[in-house]
């Protein structure tokens, strides 16, 4: 049983899309393409070819154009199918297969479990390929951050993040944007005594100076350093003066401060 092959593809200012290939069957997918051309160019470079066309599947996480604007052109040019969130089916261009909590999505012989992870948008989903230890969570969980609450409440987003927190520490977190440097600076301001965070922030600075992606990260390091996953932390709570608040309220306050940072 071999794992998915995964290629990270930076696009636009700071978006990431991901090319996936199941080595057992040759089935190819792309997560959240805002454009078509660079996907096809990279596939040609990699010499990856799907079963029915250049790609077989688009995996959409949520309806924002910086994640879906390439769907129709890719569908037209390759004959691929589009999978996406059932709750946003009206807004996902070209959607063929609508997915929601508990569904399994198969890419060849590799299966992803679907989580409903609303908060950034009302119907946002995440794809967890457990045997490849890969989580595609787009704008729900970022390296050292989380998505803005455009269509959901803090309570909703905190529930979504808790679903992801329950996954194994080794899980590789493939998020939707390279926001890690600004996230690291904010995280440090909220959690200045966290030595694991300080070390990670220094590493992030180095990587970005070298022009390298900071993605994927391991879920275990997110748990240790990402303040949005740590609203129960005593140090963060006392810094915010919220010792008595519940976790969702602390989370909401961290999110509010980041919005204003």
Which residue among the candidates 63, 116, 120, 191 is catalytic per the annotation?
Answer: 120
Q: Rounding to the nearest 10 degrees, give the CA dihedral for residues 73, 80, 21, 41.
A: -30
Instruction: Give the pair of three-digit tokens for residue 242.
Output: 């919220």
Q: Are strands 134-138 and 141-142 parallel, antiparallel or unpaired?
A: unpaired
Eight-class DSSP state of 150: S
Catalytic residue flag (residue 62):
yes
Among 64, 75, 177, 237, binds Zn ion (CB under 5 A): 64
The rounded distance, in Å, linking the Cα atoms of 227 and 194 is 10
Considering only residues 57 to 96 of the shown chain, the ones binding Fe ion according to CB under 5 A are 66
Which residue among the candidates 22, 32, 56, 66 is catalytic per the annotation?
Answer: 66
Mask: binding to Zn ion, 163-182, rule CB under 5 A, as x and -?
Answer: --------------------
Which residue among the candidates 56, 103, 116, 139 is catalytic per the annotation?
Answer: 139
Catalytic residue flag (residue 177):
yes
* Letter string b/e over residues 57-78, b meaning 16 or more CB atoms within 10 A of that residue's CB: bbbbbbbbebbbbbbebbbebb
The rounded distance, in Å, linking the Cα atoms of 32 and 57 is 11
Instruction: Give the pair of three-digit tokens for residue 64.
Output: 């924002």
Is 116 one of the binding residues for Zn ion (CB under 5 A)? Answer: no
Residue among 225, 233, 127 at smallest CA distance from 185: 225
| Tokens 């045997």, located at residue | 131
Q: Find all residues with CB under 8 Å of 189, minimum gap 6, and list them.
A: 261
Applying CB under 5 A, the span of 39-47, 98-106, 168-176, 252-260 interacting with Fe ion comes to 168-176
| Tokens 């919005």, located at residue | 259
In terms of CB distance, is 69 or 97 closer to Zn ion? 69
Mask: binding to Fe ion, 176-205, rule CB under 5 A, as x and -?
Answer: x-----------------------------
In terms of CB distance, is 65 or 79 closer to Fe ion? 65
Is 139 one of the binding residues for Fe ion (CB under 5 A)? Answer: yes
Mask: binding to Zn ion, 196-225, rule CB under 5 A, as x and -?
Answer: ------------------------------
Is 56 one of the binding residues for Fe ion (CB under 5 A)? Answer: no
* Residue ranges binding Zn ion (CB under 5 A): 64, 139
Q: Which residues are catalytic?
A: 62, 64, 66-67, 120, 139, 177
């Amino acid at each position: 049983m071999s794992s998915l092959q995964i290629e990270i593809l930076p696009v636009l200012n700071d978006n990431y899309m991901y090319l996936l290939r199941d080595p057992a069957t040759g089935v190819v997918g792309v997560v959240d393409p805002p454009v078509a051309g660079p996907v096809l160019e990279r596939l040609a470079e990699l010499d990856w070819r799907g079963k029915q066309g250049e790609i077989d599947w688009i995996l959409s996480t949520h309806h924002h154009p910086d994640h879906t604007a390439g769907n129709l052109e890719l569908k037209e040019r390759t004959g691929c199918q589009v999978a996406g969130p059932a709750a946003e089916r009206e807004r996902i261009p070209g959607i063929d297969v609508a997915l929601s909590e508990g569904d399994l999505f198969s890419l060849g012989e590799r299966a992803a479990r679907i989580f409903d992870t609303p908060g950034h948008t009302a119907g946002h989903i995440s794809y967890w390929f457990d045997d490849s230890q890969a989580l595609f969570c787009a704008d729900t969980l970022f390296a050292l951050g989380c998505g803005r609450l455009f269509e959901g409440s803090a309570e909703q987003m905190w529930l979504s993040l808790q679903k992801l927190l329950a996954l194994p520490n080794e899980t590789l977190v493939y998020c939707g944007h390279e926001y890690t440097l600004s996230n690291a600076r904010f995280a440090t301001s909220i959690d200045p005594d966290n030595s694991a965070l300080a070390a990670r922030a220094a590493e992030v600075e180095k990587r970005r100076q070298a022009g390298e992606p900071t993605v994927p990260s391991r879920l275990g390091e997110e748990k240790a350093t990402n303040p949005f996953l740590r609203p129960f932390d005593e140090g963060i709570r006392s810094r915010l003066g919220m010792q008595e608040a519940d976790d969702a309220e602390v989370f909401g306050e961290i999110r509010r401060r980041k919005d204003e940072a």
